[in-house]
Structure 1
Amino acid sequence: MMYTLQELNNMTDSEFTDALKDVYEHSPWVAEKASAHRPFFSRNDLHSAMVQQVRKASSEEQTNLICAHPVLGTSKPMSTASVSEQEGAGLQSLTEEEQHRFNELNTLYMERFEFPFIYAVKNKTKRDIYHSLSERVELTKEEERDRALEEIYKIANFRLESLLNEEKESRPSS
């Protein structure tokens, strides 16, 4: 379902949270907290408010958000949005050899960082993803945690883009 910003701005807090609950993977708390910052005048306003909620969250909440994401290149259960995003990048049709290479790197990554590799896969190929995974497994835990959150913000922006009908949006006159 698509929404206009006006519709989102006019929803109750629970309707707003329900409408945007999947923008951040299995983490409706982000939408719930962002609802208090309405009205939003653009997708960027809404996205910024949601990003701020994650940045203000505790380290534990941020880690839980990162861990709510699926492991890329696996067939484990994931949200509808994640399935679509991974299919678009070719991750649901890996060859046996590619699957093996992804599994090896994902295992190394998980052992090193204790959370799944996060990458905004929209408009990316499985080669792009594998290359990034290969490079990022060499980062420090702190650097990679920051990178994972930055990728989550990109994913959220893509998801908002697909949820919002901005054709008719305009800033209210003062």
Structure 2
Amino acid sequence: MTDKTLTPRPSQLDKAAFLAGYGDIYEHSPWVAELAWEQGLDSRHDRPEALAERMGTVLDAASPEHQLEVIRAHPDLAGKAALAGSLTDDSTREQAGAGLDQCSPEELARFERLNDAYQAKFGFPFVMAVKGSNRFAILDAFEVRLENDPAKERRTAVEQINRIALFRLKARVTG
């Protein structure tokens, strides 16, 4: 079995090159990658799991306000940005992989209602690492998570964002 590493190798990059290669892992939030790089990277961080852990630690340690900025940078699932085709390439692939581009009009209406209710309750979009999921499981998760209190849901959203980052980093491996 070969060791799966990222390309380009994070440990071999200067700050500008690291940000060019990995600054987009956290949706519209390159500061997460920047702080991870500033903490120092070695050859362990050339593996997606180790780099994801380092970057996740940065987000976990951030203030609630900075965490909310990252959460709010994410699009609604099956929302207006998806319908308009204005998602990032990663978000487009992730949502399509979960079948969100195949929703019936009724499912789209349900997503819209749930997105609106979630946004009204929490003040940020519903975030879920949808890789390996489907629109039915996502809609069910929406219903369950709407019952959370705001602090728990912020923590859950951060956990989901860190999972998304790991999936995105694993998609960049070679070897």
The two structures have a TM-score, normalised by structure 1, of 0.90
Match of 1:26 in 2: 28
Distance in 1 between residues matched to 2:78 and 2:7, nearest whole Å:
34
Shift of residue 103, structure 1, vs aligned partner: 0.5
State the aligned residue count.
165
Match of 1:17 in 2: 19
Shift of residue 70, structure 1, vs aligned partner: 0.4
Identity of aligned residues (%): 35
Q: In the alignment, is the contact (CA less than 8 A) between 1:27 and 1:65 conserved in 2?
A: yes
Match of 1:49 in 2: 54
* 2:171 partner SS: helix
Shift of residue 163, structure 1, vs aligned partner: 1.2
The answer to whether structure 1 residue 140 and structure 2 residue 153 are counterparts is no
Distance in 1 between residues matched to 2:111 and 2:88, nearest whole Å:
20
Match of 2:42 in 1: 39
Shift of residue 44, structure 1, vs aligned partner: 2.0
Distance in 1 between residues matched to 2:9 and 2:59, nearest whole Å:
23
Q: Counterpart of 2:98 in structure 1: which amino acid?
A: A
Gaps of at least 5 residues in structure 1 are 168-174
1:87-126 CA deviation, whole Å, 9 max, x = no partner? 0111112111111111111111000000000000001010
* 1:54 partner SS: helix
**Residues 70-149 of structure 1: matches in 2 within 5 Å?**
70-76=75-81, 77-149=86-158
Shift of residue 48, structure 1, vs aligned partner: 1.1
Gaps of at least 5 residues in structure 2 are none
Shift of residue 68, structure 1, vs aligned partner: 0.3
Q: Counterpart of 1:71 in structure 2: which amino acid?
A: D
Q: Counterpart of 2:90 in structure 1: which amino acid?
A: A
After superposing the two structures, state which structure 1 stretch, 121-130 or 49-58, moved more.
49-58
Q: In the alignment, is the contact (CA less than 8 A) between 1:5 and 1:40 conserved in 2?
A: no
Which runs of structure 1 show a deviation greater than 3 angstroms over 4 or more consecutive aligned residues? 3-6
Shift of residue 7, structure 1, vs aligned partner: 2.7
Tell me the C-alpha RMSD between the 2 structures.
1.6
Match of 2:6 in 1: 4
Match of 1:171 in 2: none
Q: In the alignment, is the contact (CA less than 8 A) between 1:51 and 1:153 conserved in 2?
A: yes
Shift of residue 6, structure 1, vs aligned partner: 7.0
Q: In the alignment, is the contact (CA less than 8 A) between 1:89 and 1:122 conserved in 2?
A: yes
Distance in 2 between residues matched to 1:120 and 1:96, nearest whole Å:
23
